Homo-oligomer: A and B are copies of this chain.
């Protein structure tokens, strides 16, 4: 085993998007709105919105702009009165203000002593910088969709990690709470670590406890650090 770098899915794996978005929705739209339902609906439009870019229907568009666009439909479908543009802009920044799961910062600090760490997310660079500064995520750099102008699971995103870090693909571990992300990473020669995040969807959908195809399956970033000897 010659692991040099770990790259991370972010939404769901590093941060709790559902709780964070719901918190900001409540703050900005008031207690009468069903904030978790709105968060779920907004998140539900995430994959289809990226698919429009992946298929070529839209030119490259950063995630903030996709979030802004889908928010209009989310608010309309929720039957909410017209929400001012500046409030909608602020709502999009909810995705820059998500809290990490409790094991994330201590786990990343341990891992950082031995490995290069970077997000490999569909979130744009400014969003990752916002999350990292808010919570002290010790990334060495920000990789991911916006850097290569492709969304996961396009192979270009996975290929960019070993290329930009100047190490072999087999020395890079993709860390994610989503089996499909790991399948795509393995197809490009990366190693994979599955993290069980039972609360990502608030218990509505419970992901499997482990991924038998992954090199490692863990329940926390601290367990991952222990497993990798960091």
Contacts and interface: CB of A to CB of B under 8 A. Distances in A.
Interface stretch (A42-50, A101-109, A132-140, A176-184): A132-140
Contact of A146 (B64, B124, B128, B164): B164
Q: Tell me how many chains of this kind the complex includes.
A: 2
Contacts of A125: 141, 164-166
Interface in A103-127: 116, 124-126
Contacts of A64: 166
Interface size class of A (residues with CB under 8 A): 20 to 34
A142 interface: yes
A125 B64 CA distance: 24
Contacts of A133: 116, 140
A230 interface: no
A129 interface: yes
A128 B62 CA distance: 24
A177 B141 CA distance: 23
Contacts of A165: 125-126, 129
A87 interface: no
Central interface residue in A133, A142, A165, by most chain B CB within 10 Å: A142
A48 to B, nearest CB: 23
A166 B141 CA distance: 17
Nearest to A62: B166
Contacts of A147: 147
A141 B128 contact: yes
Interface string A62-73: 101000000000
Residue in A133, A140, A141 with the greatest tally of chain B CB atoms within 10 Å? A141
Interface in A157-172: 164-167
Given A124-B164, A128-B141, A147-B147, 13 more contacts: A62-B166, A64-B166, A116-B133, A124-B166, A126-B164, A126-B165, A126-B166, A129-B141, A129-B165, A133-B140, A140-B142, A141-B142, A146-B164
7 contacts: A64-B166, A125-B141, A125-B164, A126-B165, A128-B141, A129-B140, A129-B165
